[in-house]
Amino acid sequence: MTRQATTVASQAIRDSGTGGYPRALPMTDALTPAQALEYLRTLSADIEAAAVLGADGGLLAGPDELAEPARALLAEAPDADEVEVSTAEGSVFAARSDDHAVVLVCGRFALPALVRFDLRMVLGDLAGARRDVA
């Protein structure tokens, strides 16, 4: 007699009698602000500090000491979707959407085009917008 092994995890859970997955909790494609910062840190070792602000300027994720400088930077360019400030020590990048703003403090070896691209992608992830990138 040949027995087939269960190859799908959800079938194995169902067959084990443990009750399965809680279907009352819908899955979302959106990242939380904390997940967005964690994801950005996996993309670049040059990120020294990062923050996510809400549309009202409230800090959603990141260190408290970065919130006020981030708000000040964004206030200096109220109509800009992206901001970049560079010094000899490093760069600060910011990008915003209608719902969020993300500000990154990076070392001097950060690649500006790549950081700006990552910021745009993470803003989409925060909104739950799917994207296809080649």
Residue 129 pLDDT: 79
79: pLDDT strictly greater than 60: yes
Give the list of residues 6+ apart from residue 81 with CB closer than 8 angstroms, or none: 95, 96, 97
Domains assigned to the chain: 28-127 (3.30.450.30)
Report whether pLDDT(10) > 80: no
98-130 per-position pLDDT tens digit? 999 999 999 999 999 999 999 999 999 999 875
Share of the chain above pLDDT 70, in %: 75
- How many Å apart are CA 39 and CA 125, to the nearest integer? 10
Per-residue pLDDT averaged across 39-44, rounded?
94
The predicted model scores a pTM of 0.76
Q: Identify residue 96 by its one-letter amino acid code.
A: R
Higher pLDDT, 20 or 36: 36
- Residues 20 and 10: beta-carbon distance below 8 Å: yes
DSSP string, 5-55: PP-SHHHHHHHHTS----TTS---SPPPHHHHHHHHHHH-TTEEEEEEEET
Distance CA 97, CA 119 (A): 10
Q: Is the pLDDT of residue 30 over 70?
A: yes
